Structure 1
């Protein structure tokens, strides 16, 4: 962690884009690219993270800044790779893999997930579910639909989509968040139905619970980016 090297944080519009300034010096990405954003609200959210740093700069406490660094610096050149990654996740979407037992978990999965598979189907992503642990082959149309959806997202939304997909283990839940059909917090909770059930049975490990809380808080913070675009 580096020491805080600046006193003031502000934002400024330059040529129709919004920048964050540290002591009047324009913030750049780690690769020295211009950290320029499409909206003032988004720039202010980044500025708030930098202003909240104390003696040390802690990147772990700046999720919006970290995500936007990726969106600005890496996503534009990695789009084809990310589309293929989205298609791979389609084969292993969490919502498609169901427990054969016990009944209470089967019912919770059905209640929590069936509606979102139906929602995805209405948008051209028709996935089949299974009780097998082996990855199932989904209809080719589902892969194509997910790839087309991801391709249509701008760099920031695509970065968010791929991040949420990894966190939730589900392209469907990630798509629902991007489309604002679910909040990031709601999707996170739905993705943990199995874990929550196991915690009820055996109790919750304190360290694991703390990690989960931190991840949920970060996920909720990143969900706010959608409202700032």
Structure 2
């Protein structure tokens, strides 16, 4: 089965909006083995004209660049678990112009990571790594001064904390101590069980989101669609934004950094949704 990508572009636009906005074409891609998988500055002359999607006998989807099948940096055939994700990834390749800017292709990079698993981590190890962020979660650490920032953190972070505690029936809390709040073991167990419900691919995307926001709480809020990408990123940068409002900033540098972070965060959230149950995603899109 072979699909021409143009036929599915209207689906791709809908897919890309699931994370709250379309993925920006700016930004760099962080990877655990950057030397092998490409640095933020890596580019290559475009070597193909057409991007198509095909389905193998095993039911998995492949990306074709002209007549060449895409492969991972580790040499594996680039196969995807569902059509939804295949369309979104193919759109990244189709959007490239004369030069391939790999640092803009966040979904492709996440697929590389899921397929090659370069650090050979198990699902349990990924969950444990994600849970470690709970002990140092961005919105759990509160300042004692200045009063303006204290009030801002309370007004902006407390509603999110209230939401997640009610949503998952847990206790997290916050603290102004350098040690942070003491997270109950029951809370960690609840989140462990929740994370365990994700498949390996979805965990790869969720972990990417967590590393951008430095917050398990904000990441859950984003994935559960309680927060938009813009709001989640803003909440993760609350102290910096407060200082900028008081002292100003180098506008172009700050804006560029924000676009980069939104782009990466959106890509991670989108990857989580698209690597989950494809039939549910496709059904929703058809209804829309």
Match of 2:94 in 1: 51
Correspondence 1:90 to 2:134:
yes
Correspondence 1:138 to 2:187:
no
Match of 2:158 in 1: 114
Match of 1:27 in 2: 70
Q: Residues of 1 paired with 2:45 and 2:172: CA distance?
A: 49
Contact 1:2/1:57 (CA < 8 Å) preserved in 2?
A: yes
Q: 1:152 aligns with which of 184, 190, 197?
A: 197
Q: Write out the 4+ residue segments of structure 1 that deviate beyond 4 Å after TM superposition.
A: none
Unaligned ranges ≥5, structure 2? 1-42, 276-288
In the superposition, the TM-score normalised over structure 2's length comes to 0.73
Q: Which has the higher contact order (CA 8 A, sep 6+)?
A: 2
Alpha-carbon displacement from aligned partner over 1:18-59 (angstroms, at most 9, x marks no partner): 221111222122112232223323211111111222333221
Match of 2:259 in 1: 213
5 Å-filtered alignment, 1:74-89, equals: 74=117, 77-89=121-133
RMSD value, Cα = 2.1
Contact 2:51/2:65 (CA < 8 Å) preserved in 1?
A: yes
Correspondence 1:204 to 2:246:
no
Alpha-carbon displacement from aligned partner over 1:192-228 (angstroms, at most 9, x marks no partner): 1111101001111343432222221332244333554
Q: 1:125 to 1:21 in 2, by over 3 A?
A: farther
Please state whether the residue corresponding to 1:19 is helix, strand or coil. Answer: strand
Match of 1:60 in 2: 103
Match of 1:104 in 2: 148
Q: 1:19 to 1:125 in 2, by over 3 A?
A: farther
Match of 1:189 in 2: 234
Alpha-carbon deviation of 1:108?
Answer: 1.9
Match of 2:34 in 1: none
Q: 2:114 aligns with which of 60, 68, 71?
A: 71
